[in-house]
Amino acid sequence: MRAELRWFRRLFEYDGWANGAALVSLREGPAPPKAERWMAHIVASERIWMARLRQEPSSLPVWPDLDLEACAGEITELQGEWERCLESLADEDLEDGVAYRNSLGQFWTSTVGDILTHVVLHSTYHRGQIAAAVREAGGTPAYTDFIHAVRSGLIE
C-alpha cells in the first residue's frame, strides 16, 4: 500500500486542531496533573519525532515538565513545522528509512510514512487519556474525533 502526502497533510491538520482543542479543555479545567503531563508528553513526542526525521538531537525529553502555556506555544510551532516538513517531501520519500535511537537507546529504522502515522496515532491515544481524566475530574473534555472535525468543517 502506498501512502500519499496529501493524506498526511490532512492528518496533521487534524492533529494540530485536536491538540489545540484538548489544550483548551485543560485550560477551562479542571486540569488533572496527569492530563497536563500527557499534554506535555504529546508535545515532546512530536518534537522528538520531528528531530528524528531531521536527524537532529531532540530539544525535549520524552516526559518534559511543561505547563499549559508552554504546551500552547509548542503546539502552534509544531503545526507550522509539520506543514513545512510535509511540504518538503515527495510521495516517494514516504518509503525512505530513518535511522534513530529510541528513548531506551535501542537502534531502529522506520519509514517516514510509518513515523508520520505513529505521530498522529500516538497523540490521539494520549488525547483520549486526557479526555478521560478531564471527565473523571468533572470537566467537559474536548470532542476531538476525526470525523467530528471533518463534518464540522474544522479541517479540510
Query: Could you tell me the three cell numbers for 4?
Result: 500519499
Q: Answer yes or no: are the C-beta atoms of 111 and 2 closer than 8 Å.
A: no
Quote the mean pLDDT of the chain: 96
State the average pLDDT over residues 56-71: 96
Instruction: Report, at the CATH architecture level, how domain 5-151 is classified.
Output: Up-down Bundle (1.20)
Model confidence pLDDT, tens digit, residues 129-146: 999 999 999 999 999 999
Enter the pTM of the model.
0.95
State the average pLDDT over residues 72-91: 97
Q: Answer yes or no: are the C-beta atoms of 62 and 41 closer than 8 Å.
A: yes
DSSP bridge partners of 108: 100
Model confidence pLDDT, tens digit, residues 91-103: 999 999 999 999 9
Domain boundaries, the chain: 5-151
